[in-house]
Amino acid sequence: MFLANSFDDHSWACSYFNYAGIWKPIVLLQQVLLTLSHLILPVLVLLKFKFTIVTAVLLPYAIVSYPLLIEDFRNKRLPNRMIYPATIATLIIITAYAIYRHDFGIFSQPVGRAIISFLISLVLYLIARGGFGAGDVKLFFLSGLTLGIFTPAHLIAATIFACLGVALFAIVLLITKRASSKTTVPFGPFIIIGSWLAVLLFN
């Protein structure tokens, strides 16, 4: 945690807060705020789609979105321990609902779109050579699977939002001289942001 690490580097500050009796409340407040930030997307999904199958499909992606976004911005990686469980959970929900409704299309539509998203991102991964990571490819599959329950327009909009977002972010970094032309910008956060903009704005 940033706050805790900061005080570890300055033992006098840590001692002061311990002496003043407010160190534990500060750490507790930080944990509460962190927990609330994880719940924002799931709550928004629940408010928008109520108790429906759409909510059930979106929830796994919603739960891991914020942790993935932060992890990619900080460390430029998208951990499998977050992506795989969310992907498997989404597949199970979609499969179970397709079986319940006796409708193979409920399964084939999102899975087919996820595969297309995966293949397109795989091509980008092979071409970019470092500018586009393997984690981004897996995340594209998850976002394609999740948004696949809607229309193809949602996937297109999400991709456009992601590309515009990462381009604008890179331009801002260059203008403010916080990066050079050789600096790599994490793409994962913008895949996530673009996906949720498409879901929340167009439904």
Q: Work out the mean pLDDT of the chain and round it to a whole number.
A: 84
Q: What is the per-residue pLDDT across 118-136, written as a single tens digit (0 to 9) for each?
A: 999 999 888 877 678 899 9
Which whole number is the average pLDDT over 29-38?
A: 67
Nearest to 172 by CA among 160, 148, 154, 190: 190
Rg (CA), the chain: 20
Is the pTM value of this prediction over 0.85?
no
Name residues whose C-beta falls within 8 Å of residue 28's C-beta, 6 or more positions apart in sequence: none
Instruction: Give, for 72, the enclosing helix (H) or strand (E).
Output: helix 53-75
Comparing 101 with 170, the larger pLDDT belongs to 101
Q: Are 31 and 52 in contact (CB under 8 A)?
A: no
Cα–chain-centroid distance for residue 139? 8
Nearest to 158 by CA among 107, 111, 67, 166: 166
For 31-35, 45-49, 60-64, 168-172, which range has the lowest pLDDT when averaged over its residues? 31-35
